[in-house]
Structure 1
Amino acid sequence: MPPIRPLSLITGASAGIGAAFARALAARGHDLVLTARRVERLETLADELRRKHNATVTVLPNDLADPAAPQQLCDALAQRGLHVDWLINNAGYGVPGTFESNSWTAHADFIQVLMTAPTELAWRLLPAMREHGYGRIINVASLAAHVPGSVGHTLYSASKAYLVKFSQSLALENRHLGVNVCALCPGFTWSEFHDVTGSRDMMNKLPGLMWQTAEEVVHQGIDAVEYGKVVYVTGRVNRIIKTLVKLMPDRLSLWLSARQSRRFRKLE
């Protein structure tokens, strides 16, 4: 049985999908631990959730690009006697440009944040979930995990595909112990993601039916993990795209990916 007030740890909670998860889970009666780099945004969100939902909200600023960050975060939880029931591995960003146009440091930080940190947090927090017989892990992946890689943003699709496969194995290993794991795969989502990567003008060329709000993504993601769905693509349009790409010959899907990359990816 779930606890009366589950505790949810949300990474990348300062904006976008992460902040939407915080609001949605607080509304469902969860207490929260919020982590991201931007302290002021976290504190503002925490104050909002305390006032609106009477939630206990702990702010633990951290930069997951630091290899020591996951352990430091879990140590801080242990020092406060906090047991995490829901882990939302949401922190992420994009690295514009082609592979060779970025430094190795940029790539290494990206791999740390998008792949290593969520894996380590799951490894560190999963044993207590198993012991308690209850837990939920949502790894925020992407529709990009289900379509060919692109020209530019070289590691993005690869990192999201990793999260999908990781989630599948983790779900199979733990569902008999009351721990549900879901790879949540949104498509284009209204947030500041494309502003940060400098691709907003290009993204604005896409038709409105391609977009979802962060709130829509989060609502579907919470339902998906509760229902035991292991991989969930949000939105009907995104599910159609996934199916069409799966049915296409690889040569055709790669050609389409290359063509669309030039239109919607910042390559420098």
Structure 2
Amino acid sequence: MARRLCLVTGASAGIGQAIARIYAERGYDLALTARRADRLEAFAAELKQTWGAESITIAADLADRSAPEMIIRTLEEAGRPVDALINNAGYGLQGNYLSSSWADHAAFMQVLVEAPLELTHRVLPGMQTRRFGRIMNVASLAGHVPPTAGATLYGAAKAFLVRFSQALNQENAETGVHVSALCPGFTYSEFHDVNGMRDQMASMPSWLWQDAKTVAQIGYDALEANQAVVVTGGVNKTIAALCKLLPDTLALRLMSSQTRKFRRAD
């Protein structure tokens, strides 16, 4: 029997790499995509040496609208259907809405929302036909809490992924396809270096943070259990629950008072 294939976007670091390691350990081959080809090749060698997993590396920038079609076409030409899709690629934009150009905002939404939607749309029919599939959308605690200045589109994009995952989970209840939104809070990774927020994040208390390996394992377990949404860690679950219970005006005020400590909105 041919080994199943797991496609991971944003696979060159952080949560993406941690999830890929879990799937490799469980007998999957990998399709790894990110912008940095050298990082992908080095990671593929690690997966091969450690777990015997074969990897197809595809250097691609998901901000390019042609990238999702190119990624799936490459795998089709290699004769490898996608059995698991991990929509992990993402980043943030610093500053308020007008601090960034429209081109930057459009690229951001392409990576965080449109690319996951297109990749899912392209692989889902085959999963349904084979009666097996796993789709994980890496969202965020930000999708469950009130928005704040300086993250105008981030929380909105992540909330979209949460709702999309919930709906798709219900639609595929009888198909053998599991769908889950993974919602971590602060996670040790390169995410904040890319965003230029490392100095601000360093001031956050250590009990708010989780490591990528822990987050990835929680996400994998939830997806296998076909849990539509999983928020990682007790602290994050408490925050998400409180934000649902509090009146919007109070929740917004509390979020604003806390996030201005580490988020730039100028």
What TM-score results when the alignment is normalised by the length of structure 1?
A: 0.97
2:94 maps to 1:92: no
> 2: distance between equivalents of 1:196 and 1:134?
35
Which of these residues, 100, 105, 108, is aligned with residue 107 of structure 1?
A: 105
Shift of 1:200: 1.4
> 1: distance between equivalents of 2:63 and 2:196?
21
Residue identity matched to 2:63: A
Does the C-alpha gap of structure 1 residues 214 and 38 become closer, same or farther in structure 2, counting only changes over 3 Å? same
1:185 aligns with 183
2:65 maps to 1:64: no
1:9 aligns with 7
> 2: distance between equivalents of 1:121 and 1:196?
24
2:39 maps to 1:41: yes
Shift of 1:4: 6.4
Deviations 1:152-171 (A, max 9, x none): 02100000000001101111
Shift of 1:260: 2.1
Count of residues in correspondence between the two structures: 266
> 2: distance between equivalents of 1:204 and 1:105?
30
2:203 aligns with 205
Residue identity matched to 1:264: F
Residue identity matched to 1:25: Y
1:73 aligns with 71
> 2: distance between equivalents of 1:171 and 1:237?
25
Deviations 1:164-193 (A, max 9, x none): 011011111112010000000000000011
1:51 aligns with 49
> 2: distance between equivalents of 1:78 and 1:195?
34
2:128 maps to 1:138: no
Residue identity matched to 1:74: I
> 2: distance between equivalents of 1:14 and 1:66?
18
> 2: distance between equivalents of 1:97 and 1:226?
37
Shift of 1:198: 1.6
Deviations 1:97-128 (A, max 9, x none): 10011100100000000000000000000000
2:26 aligns with 28
Helix, strand or coil: the match of 2:174? Answer: helix
Residue identity matched to 1:176: E
Residue identity matched to 1:23: R
2:261 aligns with 263
- List alignment gaps of at least 5 residues for structure 2: none
> 2: distance between equivalents of 1:76 and 1:175?
29
- List alignment gaps of at least 5 residues for structure 1: none
> 2: distance between equivalents of 1:196 and 1:37?
13
2:229 aligns with 231
Deviations 1:128-148 (A, max 9, x none): 000000000000000000001
Helix, strand or coil: the match of 2:172? Answer: helix
Helix, strand or coil: the match of 2:53? Answer: coil
Which of these residues, 156, 161, 167, is aligned with residue 158 of structure 1?
A: 156
Contact 1:198/1:266 (8 A) holds in 2: no
Helix, strand or coil: the match of 2:220? Answer: helix
Query: Please, what is the CA RMSD of the aligned residues?
Result: 1.0
Contact 1:145/1:160 (8 A) holds in 2: yes
Which of these residues, 230, 240, 243, is aligned with residue 241 of structure 2?
A: 243
What TM-score results when the alignment is normalised by the length of structure 2?
A: 0.98
Deviations 1:191-234 (A, max 9, x none): 01111212112112211111000000000000001011000001
Shift of 1:39: 0.5
Q: Which runs of 4+ in 1 moved over 6 A?
A: none
> 2: distance between equivalents of 1:87 and 1:158?
22
User: Comparing 5-14 with 197-206, which one deviates more in the overlay?
Assistant: 197-206
Deviations 1:60-79 (A, max 9, x none): 11110001111111111111
